[in-house]
Structures are given as structure tokens and as C-alpha cells.
């Protein structure tokens, strides 16, 4: 869809109302990815680990370290962002609820 000028607040509200995001599910998926990565690294029978669709040999320690560090940073940032957004939404909800009382 191409940009065609300003978007009305009503359109923005309608689009945002249709977005449903499950915070708990996102955190569970992140936790699962971390657990799988740790499990794969500890498995002596595995010679390669797949990170973001890329297969990396365990013997290639430099690439492995970069990939693991990058993935863990990505998952950490994602978790922090999810929790921050959730906290802000809760604070907004709380302030809106107390102002209407």
C-alpha cells in the first residue's frame, strides 16, 4: 500500500484496535529459543547449530561466538522491549482508570 497523504486518527485507531499481541506467548517463544540454543550447544552429538536459519559448525568458534552473542542480544532486547511496552500500557491503563473515578 502506497502512502497517500495524512492518515486520519480514526484510521489509526481502527488499525490499532485490530492488533492483538500476546505478551506471555512472545516471552515463552523467546525463552524457548534460548533453551533450545543452550541445549544444542551442550549436545555432544551435534556438530552444527542452526541460528536464524544459518548452520554453524561448533568447531568454528569465532563465528559461533558472534552468532550466539548476536542472538542472545537480540532476544534480550526483544524481551526488554516487550516488558517495557507492557509496563507502559499498564501504567496508561491505570492512570486512565483512576482519572475516570
Provide the percentage of residues in the chain whose pLDDT is more than 70.
Answer: 83
Tell how far CA 99 is from the center of its chain: 32
What is the distance between the alpha carbons of residues 67 and 79, in angstroms, rounded to a whole number?
18
According to the model, what pLDDT value does residue 31 have? 83
pLDDT digits (tens, 9 = 90+) for 52-89: 888 999 899 999 899 888 888 888 888 888 888 888 88
Kindly indicate the confidence band of residue 39, based on its pLDDT and cuts at 50, 70 and 90: very high
Report pTM: 0.59
Average pLDDT over residues 34-41: 88
What is the distance between the alpha carbons of residues 80 and 77, in angstroms, rounded to a whole number?
5
Helix, strand, or coil (residue 54) = strand
Whether 91 shows a pLDDT value over 90: the answer reads: no
Amino acid at each position: 500500500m502506497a502512502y497517500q497523504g495524512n492518515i486520519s486518527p480514526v484510521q489509526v485507531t481502527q488499525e490499532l484496535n485490530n492488533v492483538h499481541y500476546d505478551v506471555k506467548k512472545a516471552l515463552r517463544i523467546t525463552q524457548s529459543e534460548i533453551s533450545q540454543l543452550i541445549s544444542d550447544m551442550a549436545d555432544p552429538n551435534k556438530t552444527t547449530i542452526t541460528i536464524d536459519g544459518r548452520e554453524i559448525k561448533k568447531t568454528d568458534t569465532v563465528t559461533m561466538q558472534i552468532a550466539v552473542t548476536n542472538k542472545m542480544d537480540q532476544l534480550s532486547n526483544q524481551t526488554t522491549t516487550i516488558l517495557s511496552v507492557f509496563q507502559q500500557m499498564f501504567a496508561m491503563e491505570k492512570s486512565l482508570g483512576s482519572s475516570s473515578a
